[in-house]
Amino acid sequence: MKKKIGKAAALVYDQTGAPRIVAKGVGEIARKMIEAAETEGIPIQKNEVLVEALLQVELTKEIPPQLYRAVAEILAFIYKLEKAKAK
């Protein structure tokens, strides 16, 4: 059985403009990104289709409008998690 190659993309949203891609990788780089996020307590969302689309965005660039809804749903989920954690 062929092992699936991992992929990852990291976003930052500073509430000005659209979220931006700050890191992305495949294979070992993706594994290290995920490991670092877990260590730092950064929420991870698994969505293979979205990751594929984010990998096409140039580093430091804002996400394109066609990804706004999918990313907004993830950001809303993360904000809810953080709000619940703060209680």
pLDDT tens figures, 5-63: 699 999 999 888 999 999 999 999 999 999 999 999 888 989 999 999 999 999 999 99
Residue 71 or 86, more confident: 71
Using the predicted structure, report yes or no on whether residue 4 has a pLDDT greater than 70: no
Radius of gyration of the chain (CA): 13
Query: Could you say which architecture CATH assigns to the domain 7-86?
Result: 3-Layer(aba) Sandwich (3.40)
Q: In this structure, are residues 52 and 7 in contact, taking their beta carbons and an 8 Å threshold?
A: yes
Cβ within 8 Å of residue 79, ≥6 positions away: none
Residue 71 or 4, more confident: 71
Using the predicted structure, report yes or no on whether residue 74 has a pLDDT greater than 70: yes
What residue spans define the domains of the chain? 7-86
